Amino acid sequence: MTNPTPSVLLNGRSTACSGQCNVELNEGTTAYRQDQDIYPLLETAEVEIQRRLTDAKNDFEPVASRDEIVIWSKTDNIRVSEVRCIRIEIAGQPYLIEPSSDQQELVLQFAGKQLPTGIDAHFSGSLRLDTEATQNKTLIDTQIPNLSIYGTPQFQFRVLAQLALLAGQPALRELLQSARKGDPQGERLILMQLYAGNNAVHGQGWDPRTGVEGATAITTILYDPYTHGEDAVTALFTVLYSALVDLSAGDPTGEVAFPD
């Protein structure tokens, strides 16, 4: 009989710094900033696991925060489950992660192009999956089905924090459900960075109608997160709501641009 591989226990509450802490994701504005602390938990040839704490501040007042366990995996031989701890098995090696709280999110980044089948069948917590993970990846999925973000890493973190505050908006949630009825599998909306410059956003083969080469999106929302005169969360709600109204009204083609 083969003895089972012993589990590696990881502390999801860790604040042991490794020289990468206090990374300021500041895009040139003093009014809005995001600070990120990175706490390495494990690094092997196949996997890297970190705890990431991100705090968004507007005029130095906290407006949103994210507590994540981020896992980069070179193999798709991975399964996720939970009892009291998060149990992750990668290439036959089990890991147990003690979460910091019920609100801590799990993010799985895969180097391959396809997500493993049934990876989250036994996981009910907050989980975000992404494929083709690289440091300079410009298109990421959100936890809202059929909504993606296209832009620099700073823009992605900023918009994810804003989206987290919009999760409870009943009017927006109703419109998102309505927009998904026509094409539940298609990628209906892409939030794209508006003022980042061609070199930062537009890669080779960039399509101004869909936002990214080969994407199935039918509406691209050009969004400026530095809107003046109203708070950023209200601005994001406005552009999303307007685009979703157009989709629900049967006008799902073309580009929806919102000036500053």
Q: In the structure, what pLDDT confidence band is assigned to residue 159 with cuts at 50, 70 and 90?
A: confident
Task: Tell me the per-residue pLDDT of 93-126, one tens digit each, with 9 for 90 and over.
Answer: 888 888 888 888 888 877 766 777 777 777 877 7
Q: Token pair of 138, please? A: 């410009």
Distance of CA 98 to the CA centre of its chain: 22
Is this structure's pTM higher than 0.75?
Answer: no
Distance of CA 110 to the CA centre of its chain: 14
pLDDT classification of 188: cutoffs 50, 70, 90: low
26, 43, 138, 113: CA torsion to nearest 10:
-170
Residue 156 DSSP symbol:
H
Ramachandran sector of residue 93 (left: φ over 0; alpha: ψ -120 to 50; beta: rest)? beta
Q: List the one residue out of 193, 98, 99 whose CA is nearest residue 139.
A: 193
Strand partners of residue 21: none
What are the tens digits of pLDDT across the range 6-56? Answer: 888 888 888 876 544 444 444 444 555 666 778 888 888 888 888 888 776
Cα 76 to Cα 133: distance, rounded to the nearest angstrom: 12
More confident residue, 190 or 193: 190
